A and B are shown apart, each in its own frame.
Chain A
Amino acid sequence: MVLNLHFLRHNLLFWCFIAILLMSWGYAKWTWENTIGNEQAEFRHGSSTKLTYDFRDAMGQGLMLAALSGFRGVAANFAWHDVTKAWENQQWSRVKKNIELAVLAQPRVDFFWDFGAWHLAWNASSSALRNGDNPSEFGRNKESKMWIEEGRKLLERGISINPESSELYARMADLHARRLHDFYTAAEFYKKASDLPDSKHFLIRFPGYMYFEAGDTQAEYAYWMEVWPKLSPAEKQSPQWERVKRRIFTLRKELSIEE
């Protein structure tokens, strides 16, 4: 059974109709795709993969093709695999280059930022301090600090793209506490991490520990007193919070605060 539409082939009106149909479809499709694209971009906090010439040169043709064919994850994984290999061989510039590639290909993967910053601020920085090729202690310290700063900058970028990730805020806090010994900033980042819905339940205590490390008993006491009323009765019974309770009593004595 065939619909005989052959007579339409020479009809100008028919082709005008087809053109209008195509334009309407194209406009509707383009608009809809833009709307979905904008929604997704908003969800990704504006991050996107910039597939530039530099990216292609660093990735190689094969992985670039994978990235272009919608298998960006696989391409990023290969770059990340090279980070691990370079780390084992203590090739820190290669580690950094491949971290950049991985985060460029998939900026929304938390652990690329998290482990990447750890490689730079901990591993590369400690390795710089032990670097026998550099006879100057000043030079070694300078290089070590440079790697810590690289790690901090990487985490900062990661947080701006993944502001919903408590893991990254916690890593930033770790970096400030353990590598930069800036306990106040660390406390602020732990607070931000514990405020997020996916945070680990124990993170809420960490700002208090940071004020303790900073030796600021006033801030520590104020923090515990701010957190304590928010806890459930069951939480207050846990050994960790029992210790906090004892600490609050000690702080009251130290600061001569009436109950």
Chain B
Amino acid sequence: MINGMIESIIRIRAIAVNTLTEALRQKVMLVVVLCGLVFIAGSLFMADLAFREQFKFLKDLGYAGISITGMVVALIGAAQLIPAEIERRTLYTTLAKPVWRFEFILGKYIGLIALLSIIVIMLSTFFSVILLIQEMRVITIETPLNWLQWLLGSSDHLNDGIKSHIEEIQNASRDPRLIQAVLLVWAKLCVIGGLAVLLSTIASSTSFIVSITLMVYLVGNLLHIVRLEWGEHSVESTFLKITFITLVGWLVPDFELYNLIDEIIAGKNVSWSMTLEMLQYSALYVTVLLALAAAIFEGREF
């Protein structure tokens, strides 16, 4: 039993590593990541605003950059997982070997998540550098410190007012809560990846998978509005309307919940328990999506 599990893990690992290597070799991924880097770096060139505005704008654009790049990578990566394998006929070779189909799906998904994690870490690191550059720019403009003094952290000679202003700028740029925002972006991307994997077990067209996943993402963002409306005008709702909304609500993840990122960017004290709850939610959702994908894949005839 344990031996069987170990062998299964080895097979899943092999498929995951293969998926990751294949994805990293794709030039389109490189182009997407480069676009993401340019987008994040471009947020530095903003109009002259007060420092609080600048950091808020920078963080919003930075997280949007990470989110959009990750989403494109997740969609391209996931949409090509199975259709590309079928097209190249490599799927038949893989499935002819002693590999369970669920192992194939799981391996593919883990490979995709590894790719997404690499990209999110890379973009977040780059974004942190951009935040530090902005911090240096603001400090050198708004205080008597030059860039070298900023780098060496020598502000002892300054009066309390200026020191407190420097501290305020540093708090805005070096907010440790931003890690929570990165985790939330990553969790959201994992769910989007899971959705795309599920769709790729049903459909064979890449563009179909991409467009349907995007639509589900949009519907997921609108779900809370439907809930609010339903809550406020439930008397006016017909049976058909309620059934439809309920079904959509059962199937589509509520992406609005991930907008907790906005609170973190606004400097609000979002607790770790709230972030962890969202991670748990994402983990459960991904588990269900993968179980469904594996069940559908089991039934497919090649």
Q: Within 8 Å CB of B285, what residues of A?
A: 29
A180 at the interface (CB under 8 A from B): no
Interface residues of A in 17-32 (CB under 8 A from B): 22-23, 25-27, 29-30, 32
Q: Are A2 and B50 in contact (CB-based, < 8 A)?
A: no
Q: Within 8 Å CB of B188, what residues of A?
A: 70
Chain A positions 81 through 117: 1 when the CB is less than 8 Å from some CB of chain B, otherwise 0:
1001000000000000000000000101111000100
Q: Within 8 Å CB of A73, what residues of B?
A: 56, 59-60, 63-64, 262, 265
Known A68-B222, A69-B221: A111·B298 in contact at CB below 8 Å:
no
Contact of B266 among A1, A74, A109 (CB under 8 A): A109
Q: How far is the CA of A6 from the CA of B52 in the complex (A)?
A: 61
Q: Within 8 Å CB of A68, what residues of B?
A: 218, 221-222
Q: Within 8 Å CB of A22, what residues of B?
A: 250
> Interface of chain B, helix or strand or loop or mixed?
helix
Q: How far is the CA of A2 from the CA of B224 in the complex (A)?
A: 40
Chain B positions 245 through 270: 1 when the CB is less than 8 Å from some CB of chain A, otherwise 0:
01101110011111110110111111
B2 at the interface (CB under 8 A from A): no
Q: Within 8 Å CB of B56, what residues of A?
A: 73, 77, 109, 111
Q: Which of B57, B63, B265, B278 neighbours the largest number of chain A CB atoms within 10 Å of its CB?
A: B57
Q: Are B225 and A51 in contact (CB-based, < 8 A)?
A: yes
Q: Are B100 and A6 in contact (CB-based, < 8 A)?
A: no
Q: Within 8 Å CB of A27, what residues of B?
A: 250
Chain B positions 179 through 210: 1 when the CB is less than 8 Å from some CB of chain A, otherwise 0:
00000000010000000000000000000000
A36 at the interface (CB under 8 A from B): yes
Q: Are B262 and A72 in contact (CB-based, < 8 A)?
A: yes
Q: Within 8 Å CB of A218, what residues of B?
A: none
Q: Within 8 Å CB of A110, what residues of B?
A: 266-267
A residues neighboring B (CB under 8 Å): 1-3, 5-6, 22-23, 25-27, 29-30, 32-34, 36-37, 39-40, 43-44, 48, 51, 68-74, 76-77, 80-81, 84, 106, 108-111, 115, 164, 200
Q: Are A74 and B61 in contact (CB-based, < 8 A)?
A: yes
Contact of A1 among B101, B225, B277 (CB under 8 A): B101
B281 at the interface (CB under 8 A from A): yes
Q: Are B52 and A111 in contact (CB-based, < 8 A)?
A: yes
Knowing that A36-B277, A70-B67 touch, tell me 12 more A-B residue pairs with CB under 8 angstroms.
Answer: A22-B250, A25-B250, A33-B257, A36-B257, A40-B260, A48-B224, A68-B221, A69-B221, A70-B259, A71-B67, A76-B60, A106-B262
For A26, the closest partner residue in chain B by CB is B250
For B222, the closest partner residue in chain A by CB is A68
Chain B nearest CB: distance from A90 CB in Å? 17
Q: Are A2 and B222 in contact (CB-based, < 8 A)?
A: no
Q: Are B266 and A106 in contact (CB-based, < 8 A)?
A: yes
Q: Are A30 and B217 in contact (CB-based, < 8 A)?
A: no
For B262, the closest partner residue in chain A by CB is A73
Listed A/B pairs (8) with beta-carbon separation below 8 Å:
A27-B250, A30-B249, A37-B224, A70-B256, A76-B60, A108-B263, A109-B266, A111-B53
Q: Within 8 Å CB of A111, what residues of B?
A: 50, 52-53, 56
Chain A nearest CB: distance from B204 CB in Å? 19
Q: Are B64 and A71 in contact (CB-based, < 8 A)?
A: yes
Chain A nearest CB: distance from B186 CB in Å? 14
Q: Are A108 and B268 in contact (CB-based, < 8 A)?
A: yes
Contact of B57 among A29, A33, A77 (CB under 8 A): A77
Known A2-B298, A69-B217: A30·B250 in contact at CB below 8 Å:
yes
Chain A nearest CB: distance from B280 CB in Å? 9
Q: Within 8 Å CB of B257, what residues of A?
A: 33, 36-37, 40
Q: Within 8 Å CB of A164, what residues of B?
A: 268-269
Q: Within 8 Å CB of B251, what residues of A?
A: 26
B240 at the interface (CB under 8 A from A): no
For A22, the closest partner residue in chain B by CB is B250
